Amino acid sequence: MTHNNTTPRSRVQIRAMQHQDMASLKAVIDSSGLFPSEFLDDMTTEYFANPTTNEIWLAAEQDNTPMAVAYCAPERLTDGTYNLYLIAVHKQTQGVGIGKAIMQHVERLLFEKGARILLVETSGLPEFERTRAFYDKCNYTREAVIRDFYKAGEDKVVF
């Protein structure tokens, strides 16, 4: 499924992630500093090995280059609840609407699947304020703060 959105800079195409996107998407992750990009290989194993998986991996292309990635999967032991485990936009293209476009695409796909809830979690550290503001702008509701979740002094904020 492909959906086109327009950003101020150029056209963005959002589509299912493909194996040939890996190098570009690792560069996206490296630019964001979220985690070591080599983790992406293990994270995508189920998606690439199982064509019937319920995992959703998306790439957003700008000028034929993947510039963003999103990943969500069903939350175990729930009915219709998904968890957004990863969203990243290349640092050079942040702030032009790509992140919002890929989030809206995820929401549409989940609606089509009959999902009820999308959980979004992030750190409560000051350096994640921009991330939390992004979810606020996308109209997510802050549901909970779990103190010291990631480590002492680092809370988890659940939207």
Structural domain boundaries of the chain? 3-115, 123-159
Closest CA to 60 of 102, 22, 27, 96: 102
Q: Which CATH class is domain 3-115?
A: alpha beta
Measured CA distances, 130 to 1, 133, 152, 153 (Å): 30, 5, 21, 19
pLDDT digit string (tens) for the chain, length 159 residues: 344 444 444 689 999 999 999 999 999 999 988 889 999 999 999 999 999 999 999 999 988 899 999 999 999 999 999 999 999 999 999 999 999 999 999 999 999 999 999 999 999 999 999 999 999 999 999 999 999 999 999 999 999
First to last CA, the chain: 26
| Residue in the block written with tokens 């996308």 | 138
CB of 138 closer than 8 Å to CB of 122? no
In this prediction, residue 63 carries a pLDDT of: 86
In this prediction, residue 11 carries a pLDDT of: 84
In this prediction, residue 9 carries a pLDDT of: 47
Long-range contact set of residues 126-131: C-beta below 8 Å, sequence gap at least 24 = 128/157
